[in-house]
Every structure is written in C-alpha cells, then in structure tokens.
Amino acid sequence: MEMDLKTAILWLMVIFIGLIPFVIAYYKMKKKGSKMLNHLKESAAQYGCTISQHEFCGNFILGIDEKKHFVFFFKQKNEETISKFVDLSEIQSCQVIKKSRNVKNDRGSFTVIERIDLAFSPLNKSKSDTRFELYEEEDNMQLSDELELAERWTKRINEKLKSI
C-alpha cells in the first residue's frame, strides 16, 4: 500500500513538472498577445479609431475599425516593430499575395510558400499598393495559420469595401 502511494505521488510530480513548460509558454503567449493588442489600439487611437475586431497569428495582429473603415497591422519582427494602417475609403480592393517556389526531392515535388502579404490596391492609381507582410520564410521557418487568416481578412475587407 505504501509503495502504491509513493508511486502515485511520484507520477503526479512527473506530470506536474512536465506541464510547467506548457503553462509558462501559454502565459508568455498571452502576455505577448496583450502587448501587441495594446500597440494596435494605441496606433488606432492616433487616428481616432477603435479596434472593433482583431486577430493574432504568430508575431503579428490585424485589427479593424468597422465604423471609420480603417485596418491596422502590427508586427514584431526580431527587434523591429512594424505598424501600418489603411483607410478603406481610399482602397479599391484587397487581395492575398502568395509567393511560392517548387522544390523537388527524391520523394517528388512540392510547393514551398516563401511569403504571404495582404495587399491593398488604392483607388488612386498613381499611389502604390500598401502591403502587410504576414509571413516571410526567412523570419518564420514554420508556416502556421497565416494563409487562412489572410484569406479570411481579404474576404472580410472586400465585403466591407462593397458597403463603403
């Protein structure tokens, strides 16, 4: 009986110690997300905007002020912070720009995504596109949900553009 109790306690300690890194990672991610959201809100406040919807992915956050029709972007890239915005009243369309390359190996060929941007085409053709870099292969070795997020936001923004 005493051995079973010792074994149970030992297993509980092993499980607890095994969970600690995950709990720490979770709280670091929450803190990082909160910090990015604060940066995004501060950026929006500079233009008299309020973030009504936002979404995180890896090292960036997108947000929109649906009343004033602004989209905001904040990214932490190594030691550099990137903060951009677009006024949707000056935008014709939004699209996902995906740069990829084909790679061949002994098992066949496959496509590797090198970069994903959210590109905003202005109504004024003399102005250039505004791009939000969501993914860059050199910075992020692993692609997560950037493509799906880009497609979701492109659809959301283009629907918004129809109502402006």
pLDDT at 127: 92
* CA-based nearest residue to 96, from 121, 127, 112, 119: 119
Mean pLDDT over residues 17-42, rounded? 86
pLDDT at 119: 97
Quick check: 48 pLDDT over 90? yes
Residue whose token pair is 């010792």: 6
Mean pLDDT over residues 10-32, rounded? 85
Domain spans in the chain, listed from the N-terminal domain onward: 2-162
Give residue 96's identity as a one-letter amino acid code: V
CA 56 to chain centre: 4
Tens of pLDDT, residues 96-145: 999 998 888 888 888 889 999 999 999 998 999 999 999 999 888 788 89
pLDDT at 103: 86
* CA-based nearest residue to 92, from 55, 43, 53, 130: 130
CA–CA gap between residue 109 and residue 155 (Å, rounded): 30
Rg, C-alpha atoms of the chain:
22
CA-CA-CA-CA torsion sign (145, 151, 153, 154): positive
| E runs forming strands in 12-144 | 53-57, 60-65, 70-77, 80-87, 91-105, 108-122, 130-136
Q: Name the pLDDT band for 3 (thresholds 50, 70, 90).
A: low
Tens of pLDDT, residues 79-88: 889 999 999 9
pTM of the model: 0.82
* CA-based nearest residue to 60, from 91, 81, 85, 89: 81
